Chains A and B, each alone.
Chain A
């Protein structure tokens, strides 16, 4: 069985996964998305309070209090792509040993340029005008454009620096002044390039660049945003985990922008008094709702009551992290990595919970997410925060006994092996102890 991990497929997958996860652009994207997470949570809290108030009919959505409560949401989640455009460029530049702050600001400027150029509109009174930025593409729907702008602007700046296409100042000019001058040409090139792309996109598709990007990506999006697509992606992520690579982080990169956009859409629907809509990408939540990535909490409970010393110790160490949905201790302690016996249920159970979740959403027992929260929270809490629905919380807890059942036969085989091993070690130790006594 051990040879399984030496096959071409497995070593290839390991290498491929490590290349993706270790890639500077990819790790900057996930770091940039992560840097927006605290902002997202604060926005979601206000949005939830506003929604709960309307659920109990304390206020209506045209109430002044409602708009006050929703302002933090609009200024956080509603501007998510703005922060992400800055955050990704900041981290990417840092990774490439460039000046992070300058890169972040440049990316931000270019993103605003393509996503929300100022517009002046005449107000209803017919004479006064108002100038503002259109926020349509500044939120979740602009995330892909933000990612592209951040990566491309940093790359172009790097190219200019490498090819020495910068304004060089004679000696004697203060370095800080020289720095701001040297940043001019790359930014100018970036602005001209993206302004050009913006004009082309408006002429060809009569849509802004972010909108055109979303339209162009809609085919691969809808492939991902289906039950089959989700199964393939999640399978890939779980396989990476069994090879010791943080698979959830890898698959989150294509999933988060789609998920965030669909949930933001639901937030708007709920605010307008309609029902939120389920899309398969939301199944992402069902693979980490009971113990973290892979829904390992049921398995942790099995370990806790194991007769094998090793499994019992792992169960104890993994219990509290499991309750707050952190699965690393159980994944590495068992270990699930490079362990073909336990890898089988580790891969199968999240797929099963995903399919059951899909049925639950499709028949309407489970409620689609209407608040975007992606953070490590205790079992049940995330499910409630994202949906305000108790059935989703019950689902997360029902996953625990279900996954216990799935793991049980594999757990028994592995436990038996470990107990046999532990017995041999014990006997050896006893013999050694006896020998040292005899020597004494």
Chain B
């Protein structure tokens, strides 16, 4: 099963998007585990993550995260800011699945 972890500064707005993405995944019949957490807590989930998505407000961490996690096989991406603002779970999921 694919595992996606979303991270942001407070873990609040990403948890909103994560629940939207879960609904979108269910509607598509995809078995994907999606969760949201605070940047600092990501190490807890690093072994259980295939794809790491950064909220745009922590997009400045992208380079560091890519250097750290891409060698370990975790795909890292920053969420498109308009999709994030619209809380467009379906679009974000679509982009993730084509990664």
Residues in B whose Cβ lies below 8 Å from that of A337: 56, 81
The answer on a CB contact under 8 Å between A321 and B13 is yes
- How many chain B residues touch the partner (CB < 8 A)? 26
9-residue interface stretch from B28-36, B59-67, B69-77:
B59-67
Chain A residues whose CB sits within 8 angstroms of the CB of B12 once the complex forms? 326, 376
Report A-chain residues with C-beta under 8 Å of the C-beta of B16. 321, 326, 329
* Total residues of chain A contacting the partner, CB 8 A: 33
**Which residues of B lie under 8 Å from residue A27 when comparing CB positions?**
39-40
- Asked if A301 lies at the interface with its beta carbon under 8 angstroms from chain B, I say no
Residue of B16, B40, B43, B61 ringed by the most chain A CB atoms within 10 A: B40
State whether B87 touches A329 (Cβ < 8 A).
yes
Beta-carbon contacts of B38-56 to A below 8 Å, as 1s and 0s? 1111010000000000011
> DSSP majority for the B interface?
helix
CB 8 Å contact bits of A316-352 with B (1 = contact, 0 = none): 0110010000101111111101000000000000000
- Partner-binding segment picked from A176-184, A186-194, A244-252, A391-399: A244-252
What would be 19 A-B contacts, judged by CB atoms less than 8 Å apart?
A17-B60, A18-B60, A22-B60, A31-B39, A31-B40, A244-B59, A244-B60, A246-B8, A246-B57, A313-B86, A314-B85, A317-B85, A318-B85, A326-B12, A329-B85, A333-B85, A333-B87, A337-B56, A337-B81
Binding site for B on A (CB under 8 A): 17-18, 21-22, 27-28, 30-31, 34, 91, 94-95, 241, 244-246, 249, 313-314, 317-318, 321, 326, 328-335, 337, 376
Interface residues of B (CB under 8 A from A): 8-10, 12-13, 16, 38-41, 43, 55-61, 64, 81-82, 84-88
Known contacts A21-B58, A329-B85; 19 further A-B pairs (Cβ under 8 A)? A17-B60, A22-B60, A22-B61, A30-B9, A34-B10, A245-B57, A245-B60, A313-B86, A314-B85, A314-B86, A321-B87, A326-B12, A328-B8, A328-B13, A332-B57, A332-B81, A334-B85, A335-B82, A337-B56
